[in-house]
Amino acid sequence: MGRRLIRFLLGSLYVGLLTLLLVAHVQGIAGQIERTMASVEVLLLALPAMAVMVLYARMGEPGEEDGLTQETGQSELTSVEELKERLQDCPLTRREWEIAWLIYRGYSNREIAEEFCIAESTVKKHTSHIYEKIQVSGRKEFREKVKNKKDMNI
């Protein structure tokens, strides 16, 4: 969510500065009718640009999918709580649950490190602890184990 907010704020700042620049330019126009027409044009440019920024900010994060797995058609998990339910006997720490969720969603170690403002080596350490506790050897096996609820023998 932090990235969405940053994208929205930066986009809004850009649209706002562009609008201010156009408004300042409009003030230099001589006649009242021309100034009014130019002001309307500024609004006609700013409103769609703002709508585009809202849509851009709502765009999916890396690893987000449309809610269905491509292979099986099963519903994907939508929260950390659902992941905890699937792995209920697994003794992960709070941070490990957060990282496990992002691993499940397809984030890379670098993206996870950026999300939590920690070193990539710290993410690797957490990841190895998660895999050890869940008894898997990698991301693909981890996702498969979570998806196949029946095979959960942790």
Q: C-alpha 109: how far from its chain's center? A: 15
- Residue 126 domain flag: yes
- Residue 65 domain flag: no
Query: Torsions phi, psi of 68, nearest 5?
Result: -125, 145
- Residue 132 domain flag: yes
Same-domain status, 91 and 146: yes
pLDDT score, position 124: 95
- Residue 26 domain flag: yes
Same-domain status, 84 and 147: yes
Q: C-alpha 82: how far from its chain's center? A: 18
Same-domain status, 86 and 146: yes
Over range 121-132, report the average pLDDT.
94
Same-domain status, 90 and 121: yes
Same-domain status, 54 and 91: no
Asked if residue 143 lies in contact with residue 107, where contact means CB atoms within 8 angstroms, the answer is: no
Same-domain status, 53 and 88: no
pLDDT score, position 131: 92
Over range 27-45, report the average pLDDT.
80
Same-domain status, 140 and 88: yes
pLDDT score, position 111: 92
Same-domain status, 88 and 147: yes
Same-domain status, 32 and 87: no
- Residue 89 domain flag: yes
pLDDT digits (tens, 9 = 90+) for 37-71: 887 887 787 787 777 777 776 765 544 444 433 34
Top pLDDT among 95 and 28 is at 95
Same-domain status, 47 and 95: no
Residue 131 belongs to domain spanning: 80-151
Q: Which of 95, 75, 81, 96 is nearest to 142 (CA)?
A: 96
Domain count along the chain: 2
- Residue 67 domain flag: no
pTM above 0.95, yes or no: no
pLDDT score, position 54: 75
pLDDT digits (tens, 9 = 90+) for 68-122: 333 433 446 777 788 888 887 788 898 998 998 899 888 999 999 998 999 999 9
pLDDT score, position 66: 41
Give the CATH number of the domain where residue 101 resides: 1.10.10.10
